[in-house]
Amino acid sequence: MASLKCIHGDCKNNILMDSLCSRHLKQKCAICFEQVPSTNSPSHKRLQCGHAFHLKCILGWFLESDDCPICRKVNKDCIIDFKNKIENNLRKKYMDAIRSLEKENKRLRKMLN
């Protein structure tokens, strides 16, 4: 099956959405409502679902949710993987600290009795 091509001029790129390729498709960032290119760059991020955001906007969103703000699809992205690894590491460290404090609390209570 042949891939559909962008309708913009003589462009030969495959379409991303709305019959345009990522180079010619202009989207609005659903977080700040400003125009954003549909390509990945140091300042822009296109998710697997095709929706694009300013990097600073989507990073702020990813603090609260792993889903696309527009279509709510869960993203399997390296940023999400990194965030989850950090969260799991911190969770483990906090649990270790809580167990240590509980152990020390128990020891001190025995000394008082």
For the chain, the farthest-separated pair of C-alpha atoms sits apart, in whole angstroms, at 85
Q: How far apart are CA 85 and CA 83, in angstroms?
A: 5
Mean pLDDT calculated for residue range 50-69: 89
What does the mean pLDDT of the chain come to?
81
Which residue did the predictor score with more confidence, 15 or 113? 113
Q: Using H for helix, E for strand and C for coil, what is the string for the chain?
A: CCCCECCCCCCCCECCECCECCCCCEEECCCCCCEEECCCECCEEECCCCCEEEHHHHHHHHCCCCECCCCCCECCCHHHHHHHHHHHHHHHHHHHHHHHHHHHHHHHHHHHC
What percent of the chain shows pLDDT beyond 90?
31
Q: What is the pLDDT of residue 19?
A: 58
In DSSP terms, 89 is beta-bridged to none
CA distances from 94 to 87, 89, 90, 99 (A): 10, 9, 6, 9
User: What integer is the mean pLDDT of 81-101?
Assistant: 92
Task: Give dist(CA 44, CA 56) in Å, integer.
Answer: 8
Q: Which pLDDT band, with edges at 50, 70 and 90, does 1 fall under? A: very low
Query: pLDDT of 17-39, one tens digit each?
Result: 555 565 556 778 989 999 887 77
**Left if phi > 0, otherwise alpha if psi is -120 to 50, otherwise beta: which for 65?**
beta
pLDDT at 80: 83
